[in-house]
Amino acid sequence: MYDKILVAVDLSDDSHKVIATAVRLAEDPAKLCLVHVVEPVAAAYSMDLYAVNINELHEEAVAYAAERLRKIAREDGLREDRIYTLPGSPATEVPNLAEEIEADAIVIGSHGHSGWKALIGSTAMKLLHHAKCDVLTVHVCCD
């Protein structure tokens, strides 16, 4: 059992499966923390960059993600004061937050595709290299 678990989700319907696994692992589910990391809005699309405010798009993406994360937390009975929406890369931001909040473990979903990625998933694989606590991946790929 773990005292404090950081649950990293991608905001998909699979998030509920990842959270349910973390709840089963937690000594006290009230201590679960939930995080979603919003990666920077890519500017590499074929659009007129002069007509698009990338910062504004990113702020909108973060606001949308924060609202979606609050909804997921409510649906799964998690405390809204223990949710985090962060900008950046999940591979570095999730382990940094885990260290900051003194999490004993990180739980993350994994879709997996090919090679090592089939076993773990590319985001989870990168996260493993940065984490200073246990990391559990939950297989969420379709059957």
Residue 62: its pLDDT value, please?
A: 92
User: In this predicted model, which residue has the larger pLDDT, 88 or 58?
Assistant: 88
> Roughly what angle, to the nearest 10 degrees, separates helices 90-100 and 122-130?
40
Residue 123: its pLDDT value, please?
A: 76
Cβ-Cβ contacts under 8 Å for 59 (sequence gap 6 or more): none
List % helix, strand, coil for the chain (3-state, nearest 5).
45, 20, 35
pLDDT-based confidence at residue 64 (cuts at 50, 70, 90): very high
Token code pair at residue 108: 């993350």
> Under a CB-based contact definition with an 8 Å cutoff, are residues 135 and 124 in contact?
yes
Comparing C-alpha atoms, which of 1, 135, 19, 17 is closest to residue 79?
A: 19
Give the domain ranges of the chain. 5-139
**Tokens 């798009």, residue?**
57
Homologous superfamily (CATH) for 5-139:
HUPs (3.40.50.620)
Which DSSP category does 40 fall into? P
* Tens-place pLDDT, residues 18-51: 999 999 999 898 899 999 999 887 644 555 555 5
Question: How many Cβ atoms are within 10 Å of 127's Cβ, its own excluded?
Answer: 25
Average pLDDT over residues 105-123: 64
pTM: 0.84
* Tens-place pLDDT, residues 67-113: 999 999 999 999 999 999 999 999 999 999 999 999 999 999 886 54
- For the chain, the first-to-last Cα distance in angstroms comes to 28
Residue type, 133: C
Residue 104: its pLDDT value, please?
A: 94
